[in-house]
């Protein structure tokens, strides 16, 4: 009963490095999302996808890229890491788009530090 | 724009105390309202929801009533346990189909001491 799985759990990057945060779900959900959570702030939507091959920007997409080649996987790419990207990143999925009858299922998060 | 405001934390209570975490929202139309909970080291999970005015969501002893007149969705529990220690997020969803958006409050940390 895996649900939404994120890897890695922790990562430290140097400024300018790149990395990919992995996310996979086994619930056959159409919708997938990437959020970032900063201290004292609510979750901010980075990117989302409504199905394989379709992605769109959320509130804070700058500095990130995504792809959705399969229903299960939704990786998040940081090309040139900056200190402002230090945050906790959550991947989530839902059957429909986070609607009243389709709650989000979250992974356990990736804590990223950029120094 | 739409927004959700929660009371500042952390909230520190003794076991068996009464809990209230305030949540107010600003939205056009008639949003659905949610409380999500994040236990240490885990992702968020849905705690309860209400989809229309005067609805009461409940789960695990927690309750929240959708108050349209005061635009509020306060979370309550009559007797908290140490295991309730977590971060609680109020959220709203407004829209339909593919055009809606889920907006989270900043989260309120609850610490329950034995």
Q: Which residues of A touch B102 (CB under 8 A)?
A: 45, 98, 104
State CA B45 to chain mean position distance: 11
N-terminal to C-terminal alpha carbon distance within chain A = 36
Quote the CA–CA distance of A94 and A33 in Å, as a whole number.
9
Residue-wise pLDDT tens digits, B24-37: 999 887 888 999 99
Among B32, B34, B105, beta carbon nearest to A42: B105
Which of B44, B105, B109 best tests the A interface by mutation, with the highest count of A CBs <10 A? B44
Give the percent of chain B with pLDDT over 90. Answer: 72
Quote the CA–CA distance of B114 and A51 in Å, as a whole number.
46
Whether the CB of A64 is below 8 Å from some CB of chain B: the reply is no
Tell me the Ramachandran region of residue B66: left when phi exceeds 0, alpha when psi lies from -120 to 50, beta otherwise.
beta
Whether the CB of A40 is below 8 Å from some CB of chain B: the reply is yes
Residue-wise pLDDT tens digits, A61-115: 999 999 999 999 999 999 999 999 999 999 999 887 655 567 888 999 999 999 9
- Inter-chain touch B89–A42, beta carbons under 8 Å: yes
Q: Which residues of A touch B98 (CB under 8 A)?
A: 50, 97
């Amino acid at each position: 009963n895996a649900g939404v799985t994120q890897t890695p759990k922790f990562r430290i990057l140097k400024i300018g490095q790149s990395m990919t945060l992995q996310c996979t779900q086994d619930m056959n959900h159409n919708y997938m999302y990437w959020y970032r959570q900063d201290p004292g702030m609510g979750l901010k939507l980075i990117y989302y996808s409504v199905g394989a091959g379709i992605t769109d920007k959320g509130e804070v997409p700058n500095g990130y890229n995504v792809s959705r080649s399969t229903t299960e996987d939704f990786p998040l790419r940081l090309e040139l890491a900056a200190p402002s990207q230090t945050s906790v990143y959550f991947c989530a999925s839902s059957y429909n788009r986070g609607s009243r009858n389709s709650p989000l299922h979250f992974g356990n998060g990736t804590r990223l530090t950029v120094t | 724009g739409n927004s959700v405001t929660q009371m500042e934390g952390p909230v520190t209570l003794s076991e068996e105390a009464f809990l209230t975490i305030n949540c107010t929202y600003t939205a056009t139309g008639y949003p659905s309202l949610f409380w999500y909970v994040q236990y240490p080291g885990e992702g968020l999970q849905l705690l309860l929801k209400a989809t229309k005015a005067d609805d009461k969501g409940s789960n695990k002893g927690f309750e929240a009533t959708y108050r349209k007149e005061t635009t509020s969705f306060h979370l309550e529990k009559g007797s908290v346990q140490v295991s309730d220690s977590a971060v609680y997020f109020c959220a709203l969803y407004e829209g339909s189909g593919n055009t809606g958006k889920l907006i989270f409050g900043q989260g309120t940390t609850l610490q329950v001491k034995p």
